[in-house]
Structure 1
Amino acid sequence: MYEPKTKETDHSVIEFIEQVDSPKKREDAYRLLEIFEETSGFEAKMWGPSIIGFGTYHYRYDSGHEGDAPYVGFSPRKAKISLYFAPGDEQRANLLQNFGKHTAGKGCVYINKVADIDTEVLRQLILESITFLKQTYPDQS
């Protein structure tokens, strides 16, 4: 049976952020922590060794694969900061046009630093992702 690698843990978010090597990236992580908690309404939790996630939903695919994941999250990685949102749709694509300097993958958006982005658009991306996932996976307890 498939076992997801990224699971919620009870490790300390603050201890994780304090271990980030770059002082600037650490400062950005604290700023993102504030924005994500305030906007999502969820307390930050560690997911696996390096993802700070907010909220939880349970997904189940037609293939039978299922698991739990955070609605949104971020990780202050060495190269770039990874921001995790629901997979892209037209609304997300439109928001990203005004987001600032970034690159995007299917479920990730990568930034160098918070100063490069519009934090109001970030807040909209967070809310859009949570709304999308709650509609897609409505049976949450």
Structure 2
Amino acid sequence: MAENKTAPTDVPVEAFLASVEHPIRRQDAETVLELMRDVTGEEPVMWGPSIIGFGSYHYKYASGREGDAAAVGFSPRKGNLALYGLTYAPEAVPLLQRLGKHKTSVACLYVNKLADIDLAVLKELIALGYRTITTADPEAFQS
């Protein structure tokens, strides 16, 4: 079975953030870093080359594939901030409606810039996502 490509690394988070070229994206990433650190009580870890994760959880799919992933995290991409683990809980739906300008996909929340959203709502989404993922059954996140 293939090994998960997104695994914790020893790359310093600060070094990765310093490499983010766009100054607003870098500043937004530093803000999200502090929000996630405060809410989760976890220290950030690089997962793969571009995801900053907080905590972890074990997943197991019906196919037999299993592994570990960051409980919540984010990646400052060129076009947006991608936030992971914040949309799984059913209780996230009303929070997303109050968040402000964003897009979602199956497992990601995309924000162009933090100025477009309500940071208090983002903080609630981080807390909900972290709590949901770290207390769920490993088979709860099937794909």
TM-score (norm 2): 0.91
Aligned residue in 2 for 1:4: 4
Distance 2:3 2:99 in 1: 35
Distance 1:24 1:87 in 2: 24
Distance 1:16 1:124 in 2: 26
Show the 5 A alignment for 1:39-78.
39-78=39-78
Is the 2:82–2:109 contact (alpha carbons within 8 Å) kept by the matching residues of 1?
yes
User: Which ranges in structure 1 are unaligned for 5 or more consecutive residues?
Assistant: none
Is the 1:101–1:117 contact (alpha carbons within 8 Å) kept by the matching residues of 2?
yes
Distance 1:56 1:47 in 2: 10
Deviations 1:107-129 (A, max 9, x none): 10101111111111111111111
Classify 1:6/1:63 alpha carbon distance in 2 versus 1 (closer, same or farther; 3 Å).
same
Aligned residue in 2 for 1:85: 85
Query: Deviation of residue 134 (structure 1)?
Result: 2.4
User: Which ranges in structure 2 are unaligned for 5 or more consecutive residues?
Assistant: 139-143
Query: Deviation of residue 89 (structure 1)?
Result: 4.0
Aligned residue in 1 for 2:107: 107
1:74 is paired with a residue of what secondary structure?
A: strand
Aligned residue in 2 for 1:14: 14
Is the 1:71–1:86 contact (alpha carbons within 8 Å) kept by the matching residues of 2?
no
Aligned residue in 2 for 1:133: 133
Distance 2:89 2:63 in 1: 22
Is the 2:58–2:69 contact (alpha carbons within 8 Å) kept by the matching residues of 1?
yes
Query: Deviation of residue 130 (structure 1)?
Result: 1.6
Distance 1:60 1:131 in 2: 18
Query: Deviation of residue 86 (structure 1)?
Result: 5.0
Q: How many residues align?
A: 138
Deviations 1:78-130 (A, max 9, x none): 01110111553431111100001100111101011111111111111111112
Letter of the 2:133 partner, please give it. L
Q: Is 9-18 or 56-65 further displaced after alignment?
A: 56-65
Distance 1:124 1:22 in 2: 27
1:106 is paired with a residue of what secondary structure?
A: coil
RMSD: 1.3
- Percent identical pairs in the alignment equals 47
